[in-house]
Amino acid sequence: MFINFRRIHKCRWVQLLTTSLVLCVVMVCWEPLDHHVVSHVRSYAYRYLVNRFDFINSSFVARRDRGDAGGGTPGYSYLIDHPGKCDRADGGGPDDVLLLLFVKSSPENGAQRRAIRSTWGNETYARRRLDAGVRTLFVLGAHPDPLHRAWVQGELRREDRAYGDLIQQDFADTFHNLTAKLVLQFRWGRRRCPQARFVMSADDDVFVHVANLVRYLRALPADAATGLWVGHVHRGAPPVRRQDSKYYVPRELYPWPSYPDYTAGAGYVVSGDVAGKIYAATLALDASVYIDDVFMGMCASLAGVAPRDHAYFSGEGKAQLHPCIYDRMITSHGHAADMYALWRATVERAEARRTPGPLGDWYCTAARAALLCRPHFVDTYSCMAAFA
């Protein structure tokens, strides 16, 4: 009897100790846990509300009575422009443009622009090899440092005389002005290239497999070729509330625990009609949310457009370097000088794949599964993509 009582006692103690230990661990780890798990669960539950625009509407419709400018009317003027970029070479009016490709660049990123021009941004390649009307434009603001601005601007004008593919407005090219760059793209597209059937926006450290993209866009059924917004979708993402983060958004600016669904800004495609609707929305909304892809999500939510996920648009991650990945990839993030090597590899692969056999397909599915279906911590192609 006595022993039994002691045993119960001991059990209680063990229980008490484990409980307090668990509590201690939770308390110590709460911040990362909150950041990585709890805030995501909460925000995911919340996204159904946030994705209905009327929920966030009243707070973000530009308050003209207060004198706020809508996103589209900050009055930035063009420093470099090409009004005739989408016209026919023989001056015979608007050309047939399948894809208008905006590359978000910065004044000092000349090496990235050179790499893109001689690889995936090459319009001549797209016309000759893919028989596709593609227009590539680099979208820039002005150098943020007034001391360097005049010199850098001279270099940019020289670059533009050689290639004729820069568009630039006079806002400071900084992270917190990315929304101005987003508005510039949609405004330019609306004014100068309204006939473009699809519009893409990509970062200048992204690799785009243009041949795969063109094939995908051409294969879209008629009802999917309008109302399209495709990319790597973030669903119910929570705003970052840690002040040390680049993506920090204060509660005063965005009070809800979840953003509307949006595609990663590294690379996404919209159809021409959606581009027009987004432009209209940028005029109506207060552009104070400075994370451009989130702002895009809010504009799309106002326009009633939902993003569509595509397994081969990467988010933050770099594609695995493998010929079987090259057959499917659309975008890959985080490239610099390796753009040239990747371009050569993908072009060679495309030529070699003219006559694929069933054995090759089996092999590639297995190879992709081996590459993609293991734990990785960057936002790249999912395991499902191996079988897509």
User: Near ligand NAG by CB under 6 A, which window of 56-64, 105-113, 259-267, 368-376?
Assistant: 56-64
CB of 123 to ligand NAG, least distance (A): 8
- The rounded distance, in Å, linking the Cα atoms of 294 and 291 is 6
* Nearest distance in Å: CB 124, ligand NAG: 4
Query: Per CB under 6 A, which region of 27-35, 171-179, 200-208, 257-265 contacts ligand NAG?
Result: 171-179
Tokens of 136: 């590539």
Beta carbon nearer to ligand NAG, 11 or 341: 341
Near ligand NAG by CB under 6 A: residue from 40, 95, 122, 373 = 122
Q: Are 149 and 248 in contact (CB under 8 A)?
A: no
- Is residue 195 a contact point for ligand NAG (CB under 6 A)? no
369 contributes a contact to ligand NAG by CB under 6 A: no
54 binds ligand NAG (CB under 6 A): yes
Which CB sits closer to ligand NAG, 347 or 367?
347
Q: Quote the CA–CA distance of 280 and 282 in Å, as a whole number.
A: 6
- Using only the alpha carbons of the chain, give its radius of gyration: 25
Per the CB < 8 A criterion, the answer to whether 262 and 52 are in contact is no
Residue 289-328 contact track with ligand NAG, rule CB under 6 A, x = bound: -------------x--------------------------
What minimum distance in Å lies between the beta carbon of 108 and ligand NAG? 15
| Residue 153 touches ligand NAG, criterion: CB under 6 A | no
Can you give the length of the chain in residues?
388
Residues near 209 by beta carbon (within 8 Å), at least 6 away in sequence: 120, 326, 329, 330, 331, 332, 346
Query: Pick from 124, 162, 219, 351: which binds ligand NAG (CB under 6 A)?
Result: 124
Identity of the residue, 54 or 223, whose beta carbon is nearer to ligand NAG in the bound complex: 54
According to DSSP H, which parts of 220-291 are helical? Answer: 272-284
Record the tokens describing residue 26, joined without a space. Answer: 């939770």
Is there binding between residue 59 and ligand NAG (CB under 6 A)? no
Q: How many CB atoms lie within 10 A of CB 210?
A: 26
Encoded one letter per residue, x for contact with ligand NAG by CB under 6 A and - for no contact, window 217-256 reads: ----------------------------------------
- Two tokens, residue 120: 């995936």
Order the strands of the 198-203 sheet from edge to edge.
78-80, 166-172, 134-142, 99-104, 198-203, 262-271, 229-234, 308-309
Element (H, E) at 135: strand 134-142
The nearest distance, CB 362 to ligand NAG, in angstroms, is 33
Compute the distance between CA of residue 354 and CA of residue 362 in angstroms, rounded to an integer: 16
What are the start-end ranges of the E strands in 280-343? 308-309, 331-333
Among 15, 20, 174, 195, binds ligand NAG (CB under 6 A): 174
Per CB under 6 A, residues contacting ligand NAG are 53-54, 57-58, 61, 117-118, 122, 124-125, 128, 171-172, 174, 176-177, 302
